[in-house]
Structure 1
Amino acid sequence: MKISPVFVALVLAPLTACAQKTSRQTASYVAGLPANLSDSALLDSIEQRSFQFFWDGAEPASGLAPERIHMDGDYPDKDPRIVATGGSGFGVMALLAGIERGYITRQAGVKRFEQILNFLEKADRFHGAFPHWINGEDGHVKPFGQKDNGGDLVETSFLFQGLLCVRQYFKDGTEAEQKIAARIDKLWKEVEFDWYRNGDKNVLFWHWSPNYAWQMNFPVRGFNECMIMYVLAASSPTHTIPAAVYHEGWAEHGAINKTTFYKNDTLHLRYQGNPPHGGPLFWAHYSFVGLNPNGLKDRYADYGKELNSLARINYQWCVDNPKHFKGYSDSSWGLTASYSVNFYAAHAPNMENDLGVISPTAAISSFPYTPKESMAALKHWYTNDSLRKVILGKYGYYDAFSEDKKWCKPWYLSIDKGPEVVMIENYRSGLLWKLFMSCPEVQAGLKKLGFESPYIQ
C-alpha cells in the first residue's frame, strides 16, 4: 500500500478531546435510531449509508469517488476535490448495488454513469492508464508524490474491475445503457497493460511518468492487493501480456509459495514484506470485489481458502489481543490500512503493525469470509450506545478508531468505504462477482494464466 506524503505528515488530534468532538459530529446522524435492528436490517442500513458516500458524497463535477470526506471539514491539504481512481472503481460497483437495492432508480444511475464517462474520457491518461489522483474540476493529474504524476496501473485496474461490471450490467439494456457499455469497452481497450512491462520485462510496473519515466521503479510482485492488475492485463483484448509475466513477475518463479500458521489457520502464499501472520485485510478485498475467489485456484493457491484463512487469522489475533489493547474482542476486531492515531498505517496481525486501532472496513468487507464474526462486530458497534455515538456517522462507520487511545476522527476514505458496500452486496447476492466473472475476456485471461474457476467456460 502506498502511503501519501499528506498522510505521513498528518498528526491527528489525540485522546478524549477528539472523542468528544467526534461525538458532536455524529449526533445528528444517530439521533432517533432504534436501539436494536434485526441482522438483515442492520446490514442493509450500513450498506445504504456507505453507498451514500458515493452518491450524495460524490465529487460534484465528475460524479466519481472523492479521495476522502472529512465531516469536520479538516482537510490536511485543504483540497476536498481529489478524485480517487481506485476508490472510484469500488464506487461504480457500489452504484450498481444501489440500483439493485432500490437506493436509487436505474434512470438516476444511468445519468450518473453518463456524467462519470464524460469526465473519464477527457481526463488525463498515460498509455491508457489513469493517475492515482485526478483533479475533480479539470480532469488533470494531481500528483500523489513528486514522481508519481503519471499512470498508475494498479489504481487503473481497480477502476476497470468496477467499470467492467458496469459494462456487463448495461450491455443488454436500453439504447442509453448500451451506449454506456460501449464507451466503457472503448476505454478498457485503450489501457496499454503491455507498456507497463517497462520494455519486455516479465513483470508489471506500478507507475510510469511522462517526466520521470520509470524512476518510481516499482515492479509489482505478490502477494498483496494487486493481483487484479495481472488478471486484467492477461485479459486485455488489445494490450495483453504473456503468461510468463504473471508466473515470473507476480509469482516470482514460484517463490510466492510460503506456508505460515497462526493457531488453526494456514496460509500458503508469501505476503509482501514477509509478515508472520498475513497482511492487512485490504489484501483480501481490493482484488476480490469483482474477482470471485470461491473456487478460484492456480498452481500457487486456492484463493477462497486462502482469503478465508487470512480473515480468520485477523479476527483471532484481535480476540487473542497479545498487546492487551482496550476494546479488542470477538465482537470488535479488524486490522487493515486506514487512518491511524498518528498517521496513516497498514495495521496487521503482528506485534509491529498492530497499533491498537480498529478499522471497521476490515471486518465489514470480510462478510463473505467471516459472516458470523463480521456480524458480531457490526452489531456490537451499533448496540454499544457510547461507542456508536463516536464512530457512526452519515456514511456509516468512520474509517478507524481506538478505544485504547480514546481516539477517533469523523473521517472517511473511499478505498475503505467502497469495499464495504461491494462485499456486503457480494455476501447478500453475489451481484458484483457474477458481473465481473461474466466478462468473456476475464474468463479467457484466467484460463491463459492457468486458473481454475467455476465461471470459466
Structure 2
Amino acid sequence: MKRIILSIITISLISDSCKNSQTSKQEVSKIQAVKSDITDEQLMDRVQKDALKYFWDYAEPHSMLGRERYHEDNIYPDNDKHVVTTGGSGLGLATILVGVERGFVPRKDAIKRLTTIMDFLSKADRHKGAWSHWINGETGKTVPFGKKDNGGDLVETAFLTSGILMVREYFKNGNAEEKALAKKCDELWKGIQWNWYTKGGEKVLYWHWSPEYQWEMNFPLQGYNECLITYILAASSPTYSIDAETYYKGWTRNGTYLSDKEKYGLPMYVKHNGAEEYGGPLFWTQYSYIGLDPTNLSDKLIKNYFDLNKNQVLIDYKYCVENPKQWKGYGPNYWGLTASYSRNNDGTVGYDAHFPQNDHGVISPTAALSSFPYSPKESMDFLRFIYTQKPEFIGSAGPYDATSINYDNWTTPRYLAIDQGTIAPMIENYRTGFLWKLFMNAPEIQQGLKKLSFKSEKYNIK
C-alpha cells in the first residue's frame, strides 16, 4: 500500500486544511446541465474544450505552464498560485495541440504561447538536464516537492518531454516561426541526461537526483506503474541514452513483474506495484500512453499493451459495478478510481490514490473520461451521465477533480493539472489517434522502441 502512495505524482497534496468545499459553492460558477439529446460527438467536443480551459485560460501567467492546481473556491494551500507542475504541463502541451488541431484555439496564438513555454523551460533550473517536479512560474527556480525532493524528477520530466516531442513533431515542417519553435523543443529534449539517472551505471533508472542530497531519495523505477514512458524516452535519447539491459533488468525486474492472475476473468498480465489483486489507479493506463500508442504494441514480455491497459480499466469498471462496499451511486454510468483530491472522514478535502483496494466512495471523473480508448461505451456512459444529470459536478474547466454521490453529492470545486491534462488527449487518441501518430512517428522514438525490442505493425516498428 505504501508503495502505491509513494508512486503517486502529487503525493504532497495528501492533506490540506481547507474546509469542506461544499460551503464555498456560492462562490463558484454555476453550470447548467446539457440537454439529453446532445450527440456523442458534441459531448466529446464539450469536455475537450472544457479541459483545455485549465491550460489555456488558467495557465500560470508568466511561464504559461500548467499550475499544479486551480481552485474555483480560491482557497490555496501555502499560497502556491505560481507553482507550476512539470508533468502536468506536459499533458497540457498535448491538450493545447488537441485544441489547435480541432480549431478550439487559433494556431498563431498557440505558437506564441508554446514559444513562451519553451523559452521559460530553457532558462528554468535543471538538474543534469531534468526539471524538478515543481517550478516557480515567475522565477524558474526549483520548488521543493519534499525536503530531499529538491532536484531532478525524471518521471515528471518524462511526462513533460513527451509533450515537448509532440509539439516538435506537429510544427517541425511548418513556417519559419513554427520551425523555430520545433528547434527549441529539440534542444530541450537533447539536453536531458537520462543515463545520469542510472546512479553510475546501475541497470535501472532512478526517479530523483538532488545536487544537495544526491541519491538519498533512492527510488528505483521498477514496474509496473505509470513510469514506462520514462524508459522509452531514455532509450530513445540521441544524446544520453540507456541500453536495453537497463530496461529489462530495471523496469521489468528481470521479467519477474509478469503475472498469471485474473480478475473478473480478465488477465492482468503484470504485477501492479502494491495493487496486485485488482490493479492500480487508472492513471497508470494514461500518463505513459498520451503519446505511446499501446495498440498491438509488444515487447519481449508483453504481447499487447492495449490489452494490458484495457483489462485494467475494465477490472476497475466491473469492480465499481459490483460495488462490494455498497457506495451510493456506483454503477455503469458512475465509475472510475484514480489518484485525485478526495474526501477525508471529517468531510475536509484531502488527496488519495483511489483504486479497488483503496476505495473510499470517491469517483474521479478523469478516470473514466481518460479511458475512452479502452472502454468507449463505458466512458461515454459516464460522460453523458455527469454532463446531463450532475451539473453540480461540473465547473468552468470541466468535471471537478473528485466527486461522491454517496456523500450527498459531495464535490470539491478544484482541479489538478495532472488529472485534467489526460482528458482531452486520451479522448482525441480514441477519436483520431492524433497524438499517438505524432509521438510514434518521431524518428528517435522509432529507434528507441526498436532498441528495446518493441514491435508495432501500425508504425512499421519491427
**Contact 1:6-1:77 within 8 A present in 2 as well:** no
**Contact 2:34-2:387 within 8 A present in 1 as well:** no
Distance 1:441 1:383, change over 3 A: same
C-alpha distance in 1, partners of 2:33/2:334?
Answer: 24
Distance 1:238 1:83, change over 3 A: same
Q: Give secondary structure in 2 for the equivalent of 1:330.
A: coil
**Contact 1:5-1:145 within 8 A present in 2 as well:** no
Residue 340 (structure 2) pairs with residue 338 (structure 1): yes
Q: Give secondary structure in 2 for the equivalent of 1:77.
A: helix
Structure 2 letter corresponding to 1:345: D
**Contact 1:298-1:450 within 8 A present in 2 as well:** yes
Match of 2:24 in 1: 21
Residues 141-161 of structure 1: per-residue CA shift (max 9 Å, x gap): 000000000000000000011
Residues 170-201 of structure 1: per-residue CA shift (max 9 Å, x gap): 11000110111111111111100000000010
Match of 1:151 in 2: 152
Q: Give secondary structure in 1 for the equivalent of 2:259.
A: strand
Residues 390-426 of structure 1: per-residue CA shift (max 9 Å, x gap): 2101000000111112321100000001100100111
Match of 2:400 in 1: 398
Q: Give secondary structure in 2 for the equivalent of 1:344.
A: strand
Q: Give secondary structure in 2 for the equivalent of 1:257.
A: coil
Q: Among 351, 357, 362, which residue is 1:357 paired with?
A: 362
Residues 223-260 of structure 1: per-residue CA shift (max 9 Å, x gap): 10000000000000010001110000000111010122
Structure 2 letter corresponding to 1:63: M
Unaligned 5+ runs, structure 1:
none
What are the equivalent positions in structure 2 for 1:47-446 lying under 5 Å apart?
47-301=48-302, 302-342=304-344, 343-350=350-357, 353-384=358-389, 387-388=390-391, 390-406=392-408, 407-446=410-449
Structure 1 letter corresponding to 2:54: F
Residues 267-301 of structure 1: per-residue CA shift (max 9 Å, x gap): 11111114311100000000001000001101221
Structure 1 position 334, deviation (Å): 0.4
Q: Among 4, 7, 13, which residue is 1:7 paired with?
A: 13
Structure 1 letter corresponding to 2:310: N
C-alpha distance in 1, partners of 2:300/2:71?
Answer: 43
> Where has structure 1 moved over 6 Å in runs of 4 or more?
none
Count of paired positions: 447
Distance 1:456 1:206, change over 3 A: farther
Unaligned 5+ runs, structure 2:
1-6, 345-349
Structure 1 position 22, deviation (Å): 3.2
C-alpha distance in 2, partners of 1:340/1:143?
Answer: 23
**Contact 1:69-1:412 within 8 A present in 2 as well:** yes
Structure 1 position 75, deviation (Å): 0.6
C-alpha distance in 2, partners of 1:88/1:305?
Answer: 28
Distance 1:324 1:13, change over 3 A: farther
Q: Give secondary structure in 1 for the equivalent of 2:268.
A: strand
Structure 1 position 34, deviation (Å): 3.9
Q: Give secondary structure in 2 for the equivalent of 1:252.
A: coil
C-alpha distance in 2, partners of 1:245/1:267?
Answer: 24
C-alpha distance in 2, partners of 1:400/1:266?
Answer: 29
C-alpha distance in 2, partners of 1:291/1:55?
Answer: 24
C-alpha distance in 2, partners of 1:200/1:128?
Answer: 17
Structure 1 position 3, deviation (Å): 6.1
Q: Give secondary structure in 2 for the equivalent of 1:186.
A: helix
Distance 1:355 1:19, change over 3 A: same
C-alpha distance in 1, partners of 2:355/2:138?
Answer: 36
C-alpha distance in 1, partners of 2:248/2:298?
Answer: 14
C-alpha distance in 1, partners of 2:127/2:460?
Answer: 32
Residues 116-135 of structure 1: per-residue CA shift (max 9 Å, x gap): 01101100000000000000
**Contact 1:128-1:191 within 8 A present in 2 as well:** yes
Distance 1:160 1:134, change over 3 A: same
What are the equivalent positions in structure 2 for 1:32-43 lying under 5 Å apart?
33-34=34-35, 36-43=37-44
Q: Give secondary structure in 2 for the equivalent of 1:40.
A: helix
C-alpha distance in 2, partners of 1:36/1:398?
Answer: 23
Match of 2:4 in 1: none
C-alpha distance in 2, partners of 1:6/1:320?
Answer: 32
Quick one: percent identity of the two aligned structures?
48
**Contact 2:8-2:353 within 8 A present in 1 as well:** no
Structure 1 position 35, deviation (Å): 5.1
Residues 200-240 of structure 1: per-residue CA shift (max 9 Å, x gap): 10000000001000000000100100000000000000100
**Contact 1:22-1:408 within 8 A present in 2 as well:** no
Structure 2 letter corresponding to 1:159: L
Structure 1 position 25, deviation (Å): 1.6
Structure 1 position 456, deviation (Å): 3.6
**Contact 2:366-2:401 within 8 A present in 1 as well:** yes
TM-score (norm 1): 0.95
C-alpha distance in 2, partners of 1:110/1:285?
Answer: 26
Cα RMSD over matched residues? 1.4
**Contact 1:171-1:178 within 8 A present in 2 as well:** yes
